[in-house]
Structure 1
Amino acid sequence: MIQLKRVYEAPSETDGYRVLVDRVWPRGEKKVEAKLNEWLRDIGPSKELRQWFNHEDEKYPEFKKKYEEELKSGPQAEAFEKLKAIVKDHKTVTLLYGAKNEVHNQAVVLKELLES
């Protein structure tokens, strides 16, 4: 089972294996409090894509397409393969992200790809 959760929400017993999927450490969050099992920094969208998207809802379809392309090559592809292995090895995996927008962010894209 793959779950999504903002990194700012309190960890819970039902989270299972907790993976941060942001390239940049979430502002104001202490590493100890995040209770991560893994930080896959390289899986996050490139700086250019992240800045262009800026979590604007109307840009999400294009962001999703471009991000899926990024996940097919370079360090992002390697990190995505690692994430697939994590999902395979754990009953429950929670993808953590810092974005305020809970519907349009990279964790949503990753979850959809992992479940398809």
Structure 2
Amino acid sequence: MNWQSPPAMRKALLVAAGMLLSASTVLAQQPVQPLPKVGSCPLGYYSSGGYCVPSSGGNTRGAIEKSGAGCPLGFYSSGNYCLSSPSNEREAIQKSGKGCPLGWYSSGGYCVKSR
């Protein structure tokens, strides 16, 4: 058999575990993407046509259009939008109807993805 030495094997396992953890964290965060413009753009976005486009600075947080008076858990208000807090690792969508899809929970007028 061709076994790696214990330090090399340990390093390979740590690298693989790190990649898996970083991939799952990225997938769970609110996407940073253009949003339909509703009033002024949220912090970290600029107006382009009928959209609010993320700035290229790298500190832009994911956002969703505000539904009602408040924002979902893990988000804060920025004009007519809700921005993801820096420590938030969850994704939110506007609620359609009374319930949320499987794997999501209700937070005001939103559905937030469960961990």
Indicate the structure (1 or 2) with the bigger Cα radius of gyration: 2
**TM-score category (smaller protein):** under 0.3
Q: TM-score, normalised by structure 1?
A: 0.21
Q: Which structure carries more strand by proportion? A: 2
Q: TM-score, normalised by structure 2?
A: 0.21
